[in-house]
Amino acid sequence: MRGRMWKLAIYLFLLGFILNLLGIVTHVVVSSFAKRWFGKPLPPAFTTDWFTYAWREFELSHVLFITLFIALAVVFIALAIGFPAAYVLARRNFNAKPVLLLLYFLPLLIPQMTYGIPLATTLYGFGVGGTVIGVILAVLVPMVPLAVFILLPFFEQISLNLEWSAQMLGASRLQIFRRILLPLMLPGILTAGLLVLVNTISNFELAFLLAGGGSQTLIVALYYNVFAGGVRPVYSIDAMAVIYMCTVMAVLLVALRFVRPTQMVFRLDGRRN
Amino acid sequence: MARIRSDSRSELDLVAILCLAPSLLYVLAMFVYPFLYGIYISLQPKKRDAGIFSNYVAFFNDAYQYNTIKTTFMLALPTTVAVVLVALFLAYGMRRGIWFERTITTILVLPISLGVVFLSEGILGFYGHNGWLNQLLLAAGLIQNPLELTHNSIGVTFSLFMQNFPFCFLMLLGYISGIDPSLESSARMLGAGPWTIFRRVMFPLIAPGLIIAFALVFVMSFAVFPSAVMVGQPAGSTRTISIAAYQQAFEQYDMSYASAIAVIMGLCQLAALVVIVLVRRRMTIATTMGVGKR
């Protein structure tokens, strides 16, 4: 009996949390389609004008292009330099390895706002602050370690014997990489790439600190418009939020085909699947 | 070619170093260097004749600035306690799997992926003065005047909860479901009730993970920025320390003072981590006492 009450309480809480989440998301969606909405449970009339308004006024085609460019550049670079590092960290033993792992872990552990301000100062000092390159460089700071830590367990799953056999059969390093590691690592690369992509699109703090006029990502532009509330109709801001949500959801839906939801958070126990 | 693997021998050859170099250089150049540079320029105040610590002195002499530490703490601590307790309660209840686990965890990933800016915008609409919640409660006759849940610290706490709860819950769920279930069934066989099992067997095993989760959530909450601006009252009751740092950097253009505030923020987080680690060290003793040899 007590056990059943306990289970009930858990489900009720989860139901409440999910309903409240749905309420929050639905409110934004409904508001983006509202002609005018004040003090009523639902708007009296609906329209899609706010989407065209937002698209035009907030220059969303440009913002979306910038966002995708930044996100793809970050994914590409993070994988390109994270992949070899993850390989070495998974395969080789050396004295400095724990220190190295800690160093790679710190950008994920320390809040972005804490190191973002000195990072922004440095990048503005080099003259790349406010540019697309500055945003890419800043966002890469947590994304390179993220890629490394996602790829690492995938490497550990590949048996070392495969590499040894290939070596014994006369394969060069390049051949081992192209014929053995790359095909076996495809799921890992896909997982890491998608998670880096989602995290880059929804990364706020670093993109915000480094963004200038022409280098705002979608979420930064959204923030500025919410913050400057009153100048723009709230419905148009919600329309922009819906466009942002659809972008994230599209990537997320693809990602969730390959990724377990629990992979999206830190692992506490270091267990390997 | 026989290769002898030993833990003591270094297996770093040229190829391995070349593989590590790009990412290591990146982290050093873009993370370690800016950190050190930030500390350095925080000691180089804008005013030439001022002493090297004048930014720090200025911060701690100005109530408008040093109160941000208290404000941030008062937001971060209750949020963290609430998040960790609720997540522990749920994750413990679900340790043997639940219905629709995959669906539920997928839905929980949503707020993490959507990001805090979107959530805050939704919270403003849903919990705002004329939001759905107030309309519902007014229509049901439960309240006479609308509740003020946004543009104050309640809104920020709520937004932080929404952002951190799924993260903490999924982390703990993974951790708790990794505990060997035979320990629990042995305890039950020996006559322990549910509360005793939790208190004597499971909690000591969960405690280390719980403390890490607590530390992560606290540190993340302590750096709260977008939700403090959007659903809070950035000029008043929710002026957190990251807002103070941001204002110095991008409104006053005093990078030196801004870096000093960022350093103070980092030190506060570090202090919290140290306290948590010390608590953990005491708990670890309790763990070994509680379960004996593992």
pLDDT in tens, B125-163: 888 888 888 888 888 888 888 888 888 888 899 999 988
pLDDT digits (tens, 9 = 90+) for B10-55: 777 888 889 899 999 999 999 999 999 999 988 888 777 777 888 8
**pLDDT score at A271:** 41
Query: Domains, chain A, ranges and CATH?
Result: 1-47 (no CATH), 58-264 (1.10.3720.10)
Cβ within 8 Å of B, A 108-147: 109-115, 117-124, 137-138, 140-141, 144-145
Q: SS3 of B129, please?
A: coil
**pLDDT score at B177:** 82
CB A200 within 8 A of CB A74: yes
What range does the domain containing B204 cover? 62-291
Q: Quick check: is B240 in a domain?
A: yes
Mean per-residue pLDDT for B251-279? 89
Interface membership of A193 toward B (CB under 8 Å) = no
**pLDDT score at B141:** 82
CATH assignment at residue B224: 1.10.3720.10
Chain A, chain B: beta-carbon pairs less than 8 Å apart: 263
Q: Quick check: is B39 in a domain?
A: no
Best mutation target among A269, A271, A273 (most B Cβ atoms within 10 Å) is A269
Is B6's pLDDT higher than 50?
no
Whether residue A262 and residue B265 make contact (CB cut-off 8 A), yes or no, is no
Is B275's pLDDT higher than 70?
yes
**Cα B270 to Cα A3: distance, rounded to the nearest angstrom:** 40
**Cα A101 to Cα A104: distance, rounded to the nearest angstrom:** 5
**pLDDT score at A230:** 63
**If 0-12 CB within 10 Å is exposed, 13-18 middle and 19+ buried, where does residue A82 land?**
buried
Q: Quick check: is B32 in a domain?
A: no
CB B5 within 8 A of CB B222: no
Is B93's pLDDT higher than 80?
yes
Q: Quick check: is B166 in a domain?
A: yes
Q: Quick check: is B159 in a domain?
A: yes
Closest residue, chain A, to B209 (C-alpha): A268
What are residue B232's phi and psi, to 5 degrees?
A: -100, -155
Q: Which residues of chain A have pLDDT under 70?
A: 1-2, 229-230, 261-273
Shortest Cα distance, chain B CAs vs residue A47, angstroms: 18
Instruction: Please choose, from the candidates A168, A114, A159, the residue with its C-alpha nearest in 3D space to the C-alpha of residue A141.
Output: A114
Question: Contacts for B94-102 with beta carbons within 8 Å, 24 or more apart?
Answer: B94/A10, B94/B173, B94/B177, B95/B173, B95/B176, B95/B177, B95/B179, B96/B177, B96/B181, B97/B177, B98/A10, B102/A261
Q: Quick check: is B252 in a domain?
A: yes
Interface membership of A36 toward B (CB under 8 Å) = no
Tell if the pTM clears 0.80, that is, is over it. yes
Band (pLDDT 50/70/90 cuts) for residue B9 is low
Closest residue, chain A, to B212 (C-alpha): A268
pLDDT above 90 covers what percent of chain B? 24
**pLDDT score at A273:** 34
Band (pLDDT 50/70/90 cuts) for residue B294 is very low
Point out the least confidently predicted range of A180-184, A255-259, B57-61, B220-224.
Answer: A255-259
Which residue type sits at A96? A
Q: Quick check: is B105 in a domain?
A: yes
Q: Total domain count for chain B?
A: 1
Mean residue pLDDT of chain B comes to: 84
Band (pLDDT 50/70/90 cuts) for residue B293 is very low
pLDDT digits (tens, 9 = 90+) for A30-79: 988 988 777 777 888 888 888 998 888 888 899 999 999 999 999 999 99
**pLDDT score at A261:** 66
Whether residue B30 and residue A141 make contact (CB cut-off 8 A), yes or no, is yes
Q: Quick check: is B188 in a domain?
A: yes
**pLDDT score at A145:** 93
Which residue type sits at B90? L
Which residue type sits at B118? F
* CA A56 from centroid of its chain's CA atoms: 26
**Cα A31 to Cα A45: distance, rounded to the nearest angstrom:** 11
Band (pLDDT 50/70/90 cuts) for residue B291 is very low
